[in-house]
Structure 1
Amino acid sequence: MASTEYSKELHIALLAVQRATLLTKSVFHSHAKGTLDKADASPVTIGDFGAQALIISALQHNFPDDEIVAEEEAKDLRENSKVRQTVWDLVQNSKLSDDAAEKELGGAIASVDSMLDIIDKGDSKGGSKGRIWAIDPIDGTKGFLRGGQYAVCLGLMVDGDVKVGVLGCPNLPVDDSQPLTEDIGADATDAEGKGVLFSAVQGKGAASRPLGKGSLANESTIGMKPISNISDATFCESVEAGHSSQSDSVAIANKLGITKPSVRMDSQAKYASIARGAGDLYLRLPVRKDYVEKIWDHAAGDLIVREAGGQVTDTEGKRLDFSHGRTLKENKGVIAAPKDVHQHVIEAVMSVLGSK
């Protein structure tokens, strides 16, 4: 992407997400691998806290006046010395291999107490004024635990409008042309050709680059795949039935003439996958009337898809509105599709949901 007024924000966001994503990978291999029986959620907890601490530390160093909306708060760490020490050890050992890049992020966090205070900097209420970053340190909890898809997510909103978005997807293939299947990245390994950073700046397009361990790798421009016949589309949705109505998705697919089964994936890796043309549609349909989406679950992915040539709205065709605090309280559900077929998809969605 060419230089823009947000070039520094993009650069720091990419480095911060890359460093945090490497921490989450180390957590998986050291604490989560081989089991889903995690009643105490400890691998997720330490990964969430560690990644959030690293990202906020980098943002505070570079943009000290910006507000931050993040999912976690340090209360549990303050009360649990064992988990606190585990997170601290991970944070201390999570450094980029490139000294210059590490210096740009502000280097190591000074102390355990500093780490706790940094985590709690994510307490902004959000809103429609000023510069606000939205962080989801591990989006896709169950995907993370089973070695499937998850994402480290960071978006910058200015006056309620998303300007910069970055996703770290360690288990997606680097090859943008690899077709989307449910078993993509099913085994979390450090094999060559896995791990991607996706990014976008408003008005400047979207890009992907291999996830590295030091300075940033070269980027490739990405774009959504044109659909000549919507019945041939591949659509993705959440793995968890509690996150999206899978029965409604089937009915919508039938209306559109889509015969291929959906690809079920966790996290904003779905946004990234359709943005680069590996898939075509992303449907997230309300499971109950009072369900409200969180801004950190959508800010980065929304921008990346739109900058890749797609359109993202709720189920009524309204743009996602990030100006109402920490939630998308003015929206219900998410529909992401190439611009030329988006209205067709919305009509099918409204027909199915309106008949209920």
Structure 2
Amino acid sequence: MVGGYQSKCRSSFGLNSTQSAFQNQTLMDANHKYAKELHVGVRVVQMACSLCQKLQKGSVGPSPDHIISKDDDSPVTVADWSVQAMISWMLTESFGRENVSIIAEEDTQTLADATATTLLASVVATVNETLALAPRFGLKVPATPLNGSQVLDAISRCNSTGGRAGRHWVLDPVDGTLGFVRGDQYAVALALIDNGQIVVGVLGCPNYSSKRKLVNNNNSSALESEGCVMYTIKGSGQAWMQPLVQGDGSEWHDSANVIQVSSIDNPVMATFCEPVEKANSNHSYSAGIAHRVGLRKQPLRVYSMVKYAAIARGDAEIYMKFAKAGYKEKIWDHAAGVLIVEEAGGVVTDAGGRPLDFSKGVYLEGLDRGIVACSGVNLHDKIIGAVYASWDSSNL
């Protein structure tokens, strides 16, 4: 049964190499009912990364008038809206509108305003330029280019609030928009939640080379346009990484390599990541925990879920985030990365040592103090122990 299903999927999605058939066999055997979701997810994230790279290089934008501040002062760009519209349209075409529930970050309030016609036109043009390339990725191109109303509809239908029942796609179209704007690290994150459990995770990292380690942000060698996409299925016990399809007219290729977390469990040798932004992350508390467990290296401050990617492929061992009082973590900032780290052999919990709960809607409700991701149990236990030992004296 699985073999026949796999052959069907290879035919439908352009998986025709011996290498790709072998590599994806393990993922399909682990939970083959999500095979189509995985294949579509990887391809739409590849397309989204291509879209973002073109915008970041300036072939379409972004220009100053294409960077808008939201109510919480965080930025949103043409890339955010374009990726959300494109992925929403692709998921709907692939699975049927009645079967697709999407939780995503952006809405259409700004784009739908009568004064935003130029901005909307930029989004529409970017979406259509990307959708025209769909056959390169083994996906369907629209019969005719999308108009403004269709693009707004695609964005606005991503209004699910999730929950414990049913299937829900979780999308962060550009995670780390500040990193995107500044030419630094950012990610496109897509996950599927089924009855409260993350079952598929896809993470596109356009500036995180599949060949070069993540290094401190002030070293430009950390950024390469090649980029990579990581993906997994729950229960597979494996995560995969493939390079991005380049913008040179090349067709889709499904080559990928297994990634694994680091085997380092000595805090002296471990590298830890934390967010760049200080507004919603307590760097001083993280530094105190690092000192308590004996971490000696300076932290890698990284935009976006690339922090999870770094742990999954062994470039770092620890990610800590302790939000300041009043801040609520959104599920789209963590879902894809959490599953990829776990299937690559890592551990992710809240700071109390409990699994993260993605079944309660848009937010990680009931989160205990913060989030801790580690490459292994030993490091994780040390971090959690240090949190408990120091909490009474903290000022969070």
Q: TM-score, normalised by structure 2?
A: 0.83
Report deviation, 1:307: 0.4
Counterpart of 1:208 (choices 235, 241, 253) is: 241
Q: Quote the sequence identity (%).
A: 36
Q: What do the CA deviations read for 1:66-123 (whole angstroms, capped 9, x no partner)?
A: 2110111112111111100010011111147562635347676532211111111110
Question: Aligned pair 1:29/2:61, yes or no?
Answer: no
Counterpart of 1:71 (choices 105, 109, 122) is: 105
Report deviation, 1:257: 0.8
Structure 1 range deviating more: 75-84 or 262-271: 75-84
Question: Aligned pair 1:318/2:354, yes or no?
Answer: yes
Question: Aligned pair 1:354/2:374, yes or no?
Answer: no
Report deviation, 1:151: 0.3
**Alignment match, 1:309:** 345
Report deviation, 1:217: 3.5
Counterpart of 1:286 (choices 320, 323, 339) is: 323
**Alignment match, 2:91:** 59
Q: Is the Cα–Cα contact under 8 Å of residues 274 and 301 in structure 2 kept in the other structure?
A: yes
Q: Is the Cα–Cα contact under 8 Å of residues 48 and 138 in structure 1 kept in the other structure?
A: yes
**Alignment match, 1:199:** 231
Q: Is the Cα–Cα contact under 8 Å of residues 273 and 302 in structure 2 kept in the other structure?
A: yes
**Alignment match, 2:117:** 81
**Which of the two has higher C-alpha Rg?**
2
Give the number of equivalent residue pairs.
350
Q: Is the Cα–Cα contact under 8 Å of residues 265 and 376 in structure 2 kept in the other structure?
A: no
Partners of 1:314 and 1:107 lie apart in 2 by 46
Partners of 1:100 and 1:15 lie apart in 2 by 10
| Unaligned stretches of 5+ residues in structure 1 | none
| Unaligned stretches of 5+ residues in structure 2 | 1-23
Report deviation, 1:329: 1.4
Partners of 1:253 and 1:149 lie apart in 2 by 23
Report deviation, 1:291: 1.3
**Alignment match, 2:285:** 248
Q: TM-score, normalised by structure 1?
A: 0.92
Q: What do the CA deviations read for 1:26-68 (whole angstroms, capped 9, x no partner)?
A: 22222248x8995658984211100001111111111221211
Structure 1 range deviating more: 106-115 or 15-24: 106-115
Q: Is the Cα–Cα contact under 8 Å of residues 216 and 222 in structure 2 kept in the other structure?
A: no
Alignment of structure 1 residues 35-184 onto 2, 5 Å: 44-64=76-96, 65-79=99-113, 80-95=116-131, 97=133, 99=135, 101-104=137-140, 110-175=146-211, 178=213, 180-183=215-218
Name the amino acid aligned to 2:185.
Q
Q: 1:188 to 1:280 in 2, by over 3 A?
A: closer
Q: 1:28 to 1:187 in 2, by over 3 A?
A: farther
Cα RMSD over matched residues? 2.4
Report deviation, 1:319: 0.7
Matched residue SS, 1:232: coil
Matched residue SS, 2:77: helix
Q: 1:135 to 1:210 in 2, by over 3 A?
A: same
Question: Aligned pair 1:6/2:34, yes or no?
Answer: yes
Q: 1:96 to 1:38 in 2, by over 3 A?
A: closer
Q: Is the Cα–Cα contact under 8 Å of residues 71 and 296 in structure 1 kept in the other structure?
A: yes
Partners of 2:136 and 2:179 lie apart in 1 by 33
Q: 1:151 to 1:184 in 2, by over 3 A?
A: farther
Question: Aligned pair 1:260/2:288, yes or no?
Answer: no
Partners of 1:298 and 1:224 lie apart in 2 by 17
Structure 1 range deviating more: 157-166 or 64-73: 64-73
Matched residue SS, 2:207: strand
Question: Aligned pair 1:343/2:381, yes or no?
Answer: yes
Matched residue SS, 2:309: helix
Partners of 1:279 and 1:187 lie apart in 2 by 14
